[in-house]
Structure 1
Amino acid sequence: MLKKLPNILPLLCFFGVGFTPIPAYSQQLSVTPLVIERQAESGQARGVIDVSNASDKPFRARVSVAPFTYSREGLKVLESSPNDLTPYLVFSPRELVIAPGETRSIRFNARLLPSLPQGEYRAMFSIEELTENNDSTAENEVSLAVTIVSTIFVRNGELAPILKVENAFYDAKAKEIRLLVNNTGKATTRAKTEWNLSQNGKPVNSGKLEETTIIAEGDRYIRIAYPPQGKTLTPGTYQFSGQLKWDFPNKGGILPFNVNFSVSQEDINTETKPSQTPRR
């Protein structure tokens, strides 16, 4: 039985939703690929994860796994889930030492039970550093430190995402345009966003956003930082249009959107006020 994640804080930091900075040492470690997608064949799916050590000291590591999902706001680690892949995963090796400047490969095999219903099964794969514990009173000889992770998706059956844009609004405190996208399909996808902003028929700005994960049978805010440095917003109604693009295995998708949102004078005042709470 693989060990479940004992502490999700380093993991959340990796995905940009935590508050504790990652040590410089961990920034010299990398896992590829960060996202793994597999179609189960005869109830099995295999893959390889590479872990590289660009630091100047050996990295002793252990594999851990946990179920997860994405909420509207982002990554969410779970205690349990009907889409949990972790009970069906086998890794080789489970513990390893990576010498400075080297890359080691970890192979995995997902063995799904024949009784499992069709659907998408997910796991967060974590490589945790094992460090020597000098506390003579401690029961364990090692402790856990740096965590780096990737995500594994295994699809059992012919599944596909079905995306729909619900609405958009302006979050003045976060200085973001938020586009709510719903995925009623049974497969997760990652969509790129191309957007145009106009007011009273006149172009205001445009841009592109890299992939945002939209979980199967869930929804997600696509968050676009706005306004850019040196730009301001004026009150009124804005037209927000563009398209979402995603590359699902063997077939991609394009979804045009055209929605309106309003910016009030209060939003402008909030947006220009200095923050009362320091960002952590």
Structure 2
Amino acid sequence: MIKKQHFIQALTLGLFPLLLPNIAQAQVGLSPLIIESKLDKGKAEGVITVSNPEKETFRARVYPELFIYDPELGFKTIPSDQSSIVPYLQFSPRELEVPGNKERKVRVIIRTPPSLPDGEYRAVIFTENLKQSDIKQGQLATAVVARIGTVVFIRKGNVSPKLTVDSIKYNSQKKSLELIVKNSGTATGYGAINWKLKQGSQEITNGVFPKVSTSVNSQRNMMLQYPNKADQPSLKPGKYQLTGELSWKYPELSENKNTVPFTVDFDVPVELKFIEQKAPNTGK
């Protein structure tokens, strides 16, 4: 059975009316937005609740896709890899009707073969409203469908994340610090960072970076914006230091908090400026 179900963050995907502001989209509520489970004899189960906060009834369907956490882009669906749990997912029902101001349950069943190697497997279960909003502009009709997803992590064997701060880069054009976090463990970890920016003994600023997921054997690039206030000056050329703590829990709802202090040094280089120099006038 699913032992822990909890919210992490909304994963709202699909086509949105950025260029067509008068599109009316039906809303879909979903919980939980993340499910974690360990296999028990090759089996696990869970329940997704689909809710309709509007007055009008809608039909919805559920279907799985594989995803990764891209170091630059974050959440991203992909066709396949060895960590996919998609082939082993079943749903009851796959399509459902949700009356206005009501909710319905979808049962999620995972059955895996005994030969499945130990490790972490994942998928995102999308719930998609089947009602389409057609926008007609002359002879052009555009269909817009909204979908949201529940992320599923299924673990077999003794797996856990191991997060470390690897390095830092300073981007002079974006005026930002890019902190590289790596996960050398065997499960996805959600790391939060408390940090201080110093030059010598002087503290320049500090901040907190909220929980960000880092997949197994991958890295995550965290952008720490500085300056982030109008009255903060840009960093002058010189040597700087970023110190702090990287922390995470595993499982997320447990009290098993891991905390790793870090110190990384970096240089802000002198900006090269090209100055036009006219040749001396040698004409007679």
Q: TM-score, normalised by structure 1?
A: 0.79
Aligned to 2:234: 233
Distance in 2 (CA, whole Å) between partners of 1:233 and 1:62 is 50
In the alignment, structure 1 residue 259 sits paired with structure 2 residue 277:
no
Distance in 2 (CA, whole Å) between partners of 1:233 and 1:101 is 51
| 1:13-162 equivalences in 2 (<5 Å) | 14=12, 21=18, 28-73=27-72, 74-131=74-131, 145-162=145-162
Paired letter, 1:211: K
2:11 and 2:148 in contact (8 A); partners too? no
| 1:123-272 equivalences in 2 (<5 Å) | 123-131=123-131, 145-230=145-230, 231-235=232-236, 236-249=238-251, 250=254, 251-266=256-271
Please tell me the root mean square deviation across aligned C-alpha atoms, in Å: 2.9
Paired letter, 2:233: T
Point out where structure 1 has 5 or more consecutive residues left out of the alignment.
1-11, 135-142, 270-280
3-state DSSP class of the match of 2:241?
A: strand
3-state DSSP class of the match of 1:67?
A: strand
Shift of 1:27: 8.3
Distance in 1 (CA, whole Å) between partners of 2:128 and 2:145 is 6
Shift of 1:226: 2.6
Shift of 1:256: 1.0
The aligned length equals 248
Shift of 1:152: 0.5
Paired letter, 2:12: F
| Structure index of larger Rg | 2
> In structure 2, do the counterparts of structure 1 residues 233 and 43 end up closer, same or farther at CA, with 3 Å as the change threshold?
same
Shift of 1:59: 2.6
Aligned to 1:138: none
After superposition, the C-alpha distances for 1:52-93 in whole angstroms (9 at most, x for unaligned) are: 222342231111111111121112211111000110011111
Aligned to 1:3: none
2:128 and 2:148 in contact (8 A); partners too? yes
3-state DSSP class of the match of 2:216?
A: coil
3-state DSSP class of the match of 2:271?
A: helix
3-state DSSP class of the match of 2:155?
A: strand
> In structure 2, do the counterparts of structure 1 residues 169 and 20 end up closer, same or farther at CA, with 3 Å as the change threshold?
farther
152-161 or 241-250, which moves further after superposition? 241-250
> In structure 2, do the counterparts of structure 1 residues 190 and 15 end up closer, same or farther at CA, with 3 Å as the change threshold?
farther
1:91 and 1:107 in contact (8 A); partners too? yes
Distance in 2 (CA, whole Å) between partners of 1:56 and 1:220 is 41
Distance in 1 (CA, whole Å) between partners of 2:172 and 2:54 is 41
Distance in 1 (CA, whole Å) between partners of 2:199 and 2:16 is 37
2:132 and 2:145 in contact (8 A); partners too? no
Identity, % of aligned pairs? 34
Paired letter, 2:99: A
